[in-house]
Amino acid sequence: MKDIIIAIDGYSSCGKSTITRDLANALGYVYVDTGAMYRAVTLYCLEKGIIQEGRAVDAGKVIRELLNIHIDFKHSIETGKTETYLNGKNVENDIRSMAVNELVSPVSAIHEVRKVMVYLQRKMGANPGVVMDGRDIGTTVLPHADLKIFMTADIKVRTQRRMLELKERGIKAKEQEVERNLLKRDQEDMNREESPLKQAPDAVVLDNTNLTHEEQLAKVLRWAKEKMIG
């Protein structure tokens, strides 16, 4: 069996990160969460006061900071998960806040931000044996990926999943506010000029509205193994 490159894209809160991480673990592959990278840029700008909730994002100010932002991923033996580091600090929890949720789409729509992130992502995904998830992986970052998966699920199911994730992280949020944020982010991600969220023509669709985690993993593992044999 040969190692392959796997690209997973889809709407917000479809469970992309969980399935990507478990698929990577099952295959012994490297896992790259590209959403975490855009979130880390957004967190940095929020902490520096360059962007603020409820205010329009000033692209010029964000661009000027790009050289000061260093993002790494490290595997934690404690949690068994890959965690995101911003300038040496573990920000895995902080990048999931509602403030970051609100501002990440406009920040990720900035051309220069995408240019830098896509460059880093292509380096991380250069060799077979990688699973990368995001919005433009199969279309822009790794268009030559051996397996492309496009994930979708009912908005009500997605809202419940995000509510649970926030609760587990000790973050309080109203259901209506979470649903509104997911729909708004999807709209912004689908309608931006540069590499918008869209299904690659050669992607297989995974609608997990009515699937358990185990059923999803079994499905994607089967798809991956078919490509690894072929």
What is each CA distance from 55 to 20, 89, 172, in whole angstroms?
A: 33, 26, 22
Q: Select from 104, 110, 145, 178 the one that contacts ligand C5P (CB under 6 A).
A: 104
**53: left (phi > 0), else alpha (psi -120 to 50), else beta?**
beta
What is the chain's alpha carbon radius of gyration, rounded to the nearest angstrom?
17
Q: Select from 185, 200, 208, 224 the one that contacts ligand C5P (CB under 6 A).
A: 185
User: Residues 3-42: x/- map of binding to ligand C5P (CB under 6 A)?
Assistant: ---------x---------------------xx--xx---
Q: Nearer to ligand C5P by C-beta: 82 or 105? A: 105
Pull the structure tokens for residue 194.
């540069």
What is each CA distance from 75 to 25, 104, 106, 123, 133, in whole angstroms?
A: 11, 24, 29, 18, 17
Q: Select from 92, 94, 136, 179 the one that contacts ligand C5P (CB under 6 A).
A: 136
Q: Select from 86, 189, 220, 224 the one that contacts ligand C5P (CB under 6 A).
A: 189
Binding site for ligand C5P (CB under 6 A): 12, 34-35, 38-39, 104-105, 108, 134-137, 185, 189
